[in-house]
């Protein structure tokens, strides 16, 4: 092997981390497990995630017209999910075969994967803070929660997410190992451990610790206000963002825990080949589980966001049914007009909260 610091580089994980040590463990079972598990699951995530998030973007742009800060953040969250999904077909192929796409795409796709991850959680944080301002600091929110400020904060957020993703672009590269090519992180030989630990700590802190602290504080203050003043619109908005937050942690927490244990196993307990293999399988399973998250947000909008359901219904009646059945527009015209009228009326109201 050309680089002794990356003997885990040929693991067919979506995110190739430099977990290397000198343990001569055979990982044939883990590789076969990944090759069997990942491609079909990634394919399902790509199909449903692509359809769902493209519908969200369409509804936000066509019907909501991005008039509020909440709309801006929801649009960017959908774009983050689409970025994440974009890289999955390549990683699905890599789980079974060698890396054949060259060094440039190895770096770019690794960066895109992490850019989708970081931007996604950052926009969930912004949505939480948006709810916090709208309910806890309502007077200040009238000036601060505008589409202009939403665009500015979104631009800054993307810049921060890109900066956080730079190490993946810098350190990921292709390398020939045991007659096949890999795409993985290769850190400088004089600071392998430092870079490896800092990478995972950054992932855990920015992707889990900081968000949960912000959300606990924000929702504790929100619940205090709502307990004193019952407002149905505000409660619906809080419910939407709260569900998005809870779903994020359900799908991503296992991955953060397993990646932390795998990276710091030498410090936490006595590592063995069996334990190491189990942790590698855990990473494969939990990372795949976490990816399903990008398919869930559109479902949340459909079931929790009342306006989104109305917009979606109007869109399908007007554009889909008209092409599938020529009689359908006449058959449902009266009902469609009622729905469209309800949507227009709802849009005209001053929306302090809902977003969707």
Arithmetic mean of pLDDT over the chain = 77
C-alpha dihedral (319, 323, 327, 328), degrees to nearest 10 = -40
60-66: long-range pairs with CB below 8 Å, 24+: 60/356, 62/311, 62/315, 63/311, 63/314, 63/315, 63/343, 63/347, 64/307, 64/311, 64/347, 64/356, 66/147
pLDDT at residue 302 greater than cutoff 50: yes
165 — pLDDT class (breaks 50, 70, 90): very high
| Residue that wins the pLDDT comparison between 343 and 258 | 258
Domain-wise residue ranges, the chain: 28-305
pLDDT tens-place string over residues 320-338:
666 666 555 554 454 545 5
pLDDT tens-place string over residues 96-146:
888 888 889 999 999 999 999 899 999 989 988 998 898 888 888 888 888
pLDDT tens-place string over residues 31-85:
676 777 778 888 888 898 898 889 888 888 887 777 888 889 989 999 999 998 9
| Residue that wins the pLDDT comparison between 116 and 242 | 116
pLDDT tens-place string over residues 2-13:
343 333 333 334
pLDDT at position 26: 59
The CATH superfamily assigned to 28-305 is Rhodopsin 7-helix transmembrane proteins (1.20.1070.10)
């Amino acid at each position: 092997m050309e680089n002794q610091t990356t003997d885990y580089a040929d693991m067919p994980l979506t995110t190739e981390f430099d977990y290397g040590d000198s343990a001569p463990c055979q990982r044939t079972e883990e590789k076969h497990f990944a090759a069997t598990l990942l491609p079909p699951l990634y394919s399902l995530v790509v199909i449903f995630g692509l359809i769902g998030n493209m519908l969200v973007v369409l509804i936000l742009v066509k019907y909501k017209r991005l008039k509020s800060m909440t709309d801006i953040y929801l649009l960017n969250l959908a774009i983050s999910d689409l970025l994440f999904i974009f890289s999955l077909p390549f990683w699905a192929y890599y789980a079974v075969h060698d890396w054949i796409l060259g060094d440039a795409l190895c770096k770019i796709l690794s960066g895109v994967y992490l850019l989708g991850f970081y931007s996604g959680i950052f926009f969930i944080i912004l949505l939480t803070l948006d709810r916090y301002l709208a309910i806890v600091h309502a007077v200040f929110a009238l000036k601060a929660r505008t589409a202009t400020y939403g665009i500015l904060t979104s631009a800054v957020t993307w810049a921060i997410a890109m900066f956080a993703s730079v190490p993946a672009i810098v350190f990921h590269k292709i390398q020939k190992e045991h007659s096949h090519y890999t795409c993985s992180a290769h850190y400088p030989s004089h600071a392998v451990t430092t870079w490896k630990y800092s990478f995972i700590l950054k992932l855990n802190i920015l992707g889990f610790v900081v968000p949960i602290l912000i959300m606990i504080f924000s929702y504790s203050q929100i619940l205090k206000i709502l307990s004193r003043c019952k407002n149905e619109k505000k409660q619906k908005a809080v419910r939407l963002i709260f569900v998005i937050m809870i779903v994020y942690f359900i799908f991503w927490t296992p991955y953060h825990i397993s990646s932390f244990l795998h990276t710091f196993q030498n410090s936490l307990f006595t590592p063995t080949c069996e334990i190491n293999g189990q942790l590698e399988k855990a990473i494969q399973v939990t990372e795949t589980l976490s990816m399903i998250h990008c398919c869930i947000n559109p479902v949340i909008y459909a079931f929790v966001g009342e306006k989104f359901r109305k917009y979606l219904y109007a869109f399908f009646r007007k554009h889909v049914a008209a092409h599938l059945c020529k009689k359908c527009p006449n058959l449902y015209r009266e009902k469609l007009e009622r729905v469209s009228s309800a949507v227009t009326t709802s849009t005209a109201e001053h929306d302090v909260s809902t977003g969707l």
